A and B are shown apart, each in its own frame.
Chain A
Amino acid sequence: MGSQRQGYRLKPQELLVVVICLLGTLLFLSFFWDTGFHLPNSGWVMFYALVAGAIVLEYFMFKLPPEGNHQSMDSTIFLAALFIYGPKFSLMVLLVSAVIIAFNRRHVAWWKHYYNFVTYSAMIIGAYWVFEAMGGTLGDFKVVELYAYVGALATYFFVNVLLLASYFFLLYRNQLIPVLAHFVRESIFAYLGILLFSIVLLILILKTNMFGVFLFLIIAVLLSHVFKQLFLMYHEINDKANKDQRTGLFNHSYLEEKLDEYIQLYREEGKAFSFAMLDLDDFKKYNDLYGHPQGDKLLGFVGSILKEECEPHGYICARYGGEEFAVIMPELDKNKARLFIHQLRKRVNNSPFEGVDVLPHGCISFSAGVMEMNADTYEKSQLVGFSDRAMYISKSKGKNVVTVYGEQTFIPQLFEHEINELEQQIKVFLSKDVYTFKHSKRVYSYAVDMSQVLGLAEEERRTLILGALIHDIGKLEVPREVLTKRTKLSQDEWELIKRHVTFGKEFLLATGKYNDLVPLVELHHERYDGGGYPHNLKGPEIPKLARILCIIDSFDAMTTERPYQRTKSFTEALDEMRRCTGTQFDPELVAPFIRYIEQRIEQGDIPEEALQAFEQQQKQQEPNERI
């Protein structure tokens, strides 16, 4: 603590709080300065009773809808004590009860308790001054002095409102007048009731002594209980209006309400926030297979995960509709938001649920689009629309991916249907060799990004992306046993695997439609130094797009689990690529790729499969090395 305080300067508004506290304390002490505090024994008994009363009333606070408003009746005790026994008695009751309450609520910062105490002191003293000035006399209640009582109560109220408003004004920089108006508007009726109750308590104490206090407390506690029920009911109904029953998340209309609020906050106070749209991958397939009731369970399960992850941070997550979810992340910029959604995606991936192994990714997954609020966005529908678009890009990149709006590469509508067509082709691998299927989709996804990074022309871009998707199609001809073999391959088997580039070429030529992709499929294993297969081409003899594909393909192979290779981490793989620059890879093309991957590492944007494969390998390796 000491080191933290060094060099800490009080801000002006904090200084003002300190000054108010000091003044209040001096005022409090001035009442006890000369004579101290003495009571007869019977006085002490009443004193204890009123302290207990103040504590009980403070504990059984009235909660009032809407959110966060509460009204404690302890003021009735202080005022009744003031009118009967005078300011010293009342202040002492306040002091003792405040100390006990502060002790009981140690989790609240001490200076808040202190400011609260000073506020109450000032209220009591202010009320006393006005009461005296208007000719009120302590002790018995006299109807003729009604104006003095009313004056004292009004002073009590206004001192309270003033100090409370200035507290929020000073510490939270809210505007003074609106805050004041807000307080008066919100609390005036409840408050007036409480003030009038002090006259009731006063008469009760005068007439029946201790029994009056007792009676009053019981009534107050019962009332507080009734109010609490009302408050709970309000909340329940409020929840029903704002929540989606299936998932327990907020619903669409609540989300829109909140989005409006955050957009306004952004415009007025410059508070940043990010927004994400999430869409469960292949949910329709799950629904079709297991039926809607089970699909609903899956939605509820995902909802509970989202809630668990978002709530601690104060993020708002809602079910946008169907299998779409939305998250508002206050104070996060797009990179932090991407990181958060990434972690969320990993958490969802790693959450086991009945039947999800039939999905293409073998687990629950979602595609997401993230967008940071910016000055160009005027309307919530824009925010939703842009995030939605980024989310669809994620879908087209192979799903289970997070895309930030503005950074994504647009896939021209022109060849979208071609992508779908080729995707159907490689789906054959789902049953034969899942690795090759996933590998193809990842390589495709890298290719989409790389075509952007390298600024390729439209035609080249199409060729690279489609070629990346289909590049391993020749492996269809390689027997399953060879593809998935875990032990070292024999020479013959190697030769067979190597031939997949030729098989691929034949496959494409046979269908005829994608002849322009042949170079990529056939030549993506050629090396820059001429040591590759099948034609030992060298340097510029290899088409540029095939050289790019070779880089991407090798990188993904290195960083994911393959039967006949050791998995590398992203950073290790980059080192390996630098080492092979000029031999295996084209130096000019490898450099931008390394920069691109480094950027992704920085952003924590590493595909789940790569991470998992690496971790799994680390675990397996230890025992193996010992043998």
Chain B
Amino acid sequence: MVYDGILLGLIVGFIRAGWKNGLLALSQINIRFGWVFPLLLLGQFGLYLLQDKFSFFAQFNGYIYIVIYVTGLSLLWLNRHQKGLGIIFAGVLLNFVVMLANGGRMPVSLEAAQAVLDPIYIDMLMSGDAVTKHFLMDESTRLSFLGDIIPLGPPYPRSQAISIGDVVINVGVFLFILQLLGKKSKPNSNSLPENAL
């Protein structure tokens, strides 16, 4: 879901900055401990693969996710002064809070899922196994308004149920990329007119 924000940011950013300036600006990206983010992504992906094979990972993956989230959050916090990253932090925090309140997993609303998702996926959700990160919400779910309750479907090009945290993250990503591409490469301006020696 984060990719939507990245894509949109890149498109609008490149339109505004131009191809060459945009690429130049993109190369000047500077996030403290930025290299950790790809590792976190890899970690998540690895977890997804491993949990089917080892019961150990299936059992504890809730905790491992918490570790990944806390790491990501603290990195975002360190970089919160860059435009957009503070918003991403808020979005991740919203998602994190609802997952924490529900044993490390994200509740999905049946209405939203039914509205836009593949029935096979819904069956999987209802049976309660597989799909690592998610579960179907019910009366006992806490903070359900922070869960995946927003149905995204046609005319939007993708079908998905997302949470408000996801929306906020995307807004942040969009703004971050936009400001990144919007940065002017240092113009050679002198504050004084040329005849002022």
Q: Which residues of chain A have a CB within 8 Å of any CB of chain B?
A: 39, 41-42, 44-45, 47-48, 52, 297, 300-301, 304, 351-354
B150 at the interface (CB under 8 A from A): yes
Q: Which residues of A contact B120 (CB under 8 A)?
A: none
* Residue among A41, A297, A304, A352 making CB contact with B112, cutoff 8 Å: A41
Inter-subunit contact B164/A48 (CB<8 Å):
yes
Q: How close is B144's CB to chain A, nearest CB, in angstroms?
A: 7
The answer to whether B195 and A42 touch across the interface, beta carbons within 8 angstroms, is no
Question: Would you give the shortest CB distance from A566 to chain B, in whole angstroms?
Answer: 32
Q: Roughly how many angstroms separate A200 CA and B196 CA in the complex, as a whole number? A: 59
Interface of A is mostly: helix
Q: Which residue of B lies closest to A356 (CB)?
A: B197
For the complex formed, measure the closest distance between the CB of A512 and the CB atoms of chain B, giving whole angstroms. Answer: 48
C-alpha gap A301/B192 in the complex (Å) = 9
- Nearest Cβ distance between residue B149 and chain A, in whole angstroms? 4
Pick the contact of B196 from A42, A47, A48, A352 — CB < 8 Å?
A352
Who on chain B is nearest to A300 by CB? B193
Closest B residue, CB atoms, query A49 = B150
| Contact (Cβ within 8 A) A353 B195 | yes
B109 within 8 A of A: yes
A618 to chain B, nearest CB (A): 26
Which 6 pairs show the lowest CB-CB distances between chains A and B?
A41-B149, A44-B145, A41-B109, A352-B197, A45-B150, A48-B164
A41 CA to B114 CA, complexed, in Å: 13
Residue-wise interface mask of B (142-164) relative to A, using a CB-CB cutoff of 8 A (1 in contact, 0 not): 00110101110000000000001
Chain B contacts with A in 147-197, Cβ cutoff 8 A = 147, 149-151, 164, 167, 193, 195-197
Binding site for A on B (CB under 8 A): 109, 111-112, 137, 144-145, 147, 149-151, 164, 167, 193, 195-197
Of A42, A297, A304, A354, which one neighbours B197 at CB under 8 angstroms? A354
**Cβ contact within 8 Å between A44 and B197:** no
A-B contact pairs, 12 of them (CB 8 A): A41-B145, A42-B111, A42-B149, A44-B145, A44-B149, A45-B112, A48-B150, A300-B193, A301-B193, A351-B196, A353-B195, A354-B196
> CA A353 – CA B109 in complex, angstroms?
72
Is the CB–CB distance between B195 and A354 below 8 Å?
yes
Q: How far is the CA of A48 from the CA of B196 in the complex (A)?
A: 56
- Which residues from chain B contact A41 at a C-beta distance below 8 Å? 109, 111-112, 137, 144-145, 147, 149
Q: Which residue of B lies closest to A44 (CB)?
A: B145
In the complex, A301→B195 CA distance in Å? Answer: 9
Q: Are A48 and B167 in contact (CB under 8 A)?
A: yes
- A364 shortest CB reach to chain B, Å: 11
Closest-CB distance, A47 to chain B (whole angstroms):
8
Docked pose: A41 CA to B163 CA in angstroms: 11
| Distance in angstroms between the alpha carbons of A352 and B192 in the assembled complex | 11
Enumerate chain A residues within 8 angstroms of B167, measured Cβ to Cβ: 48, 52
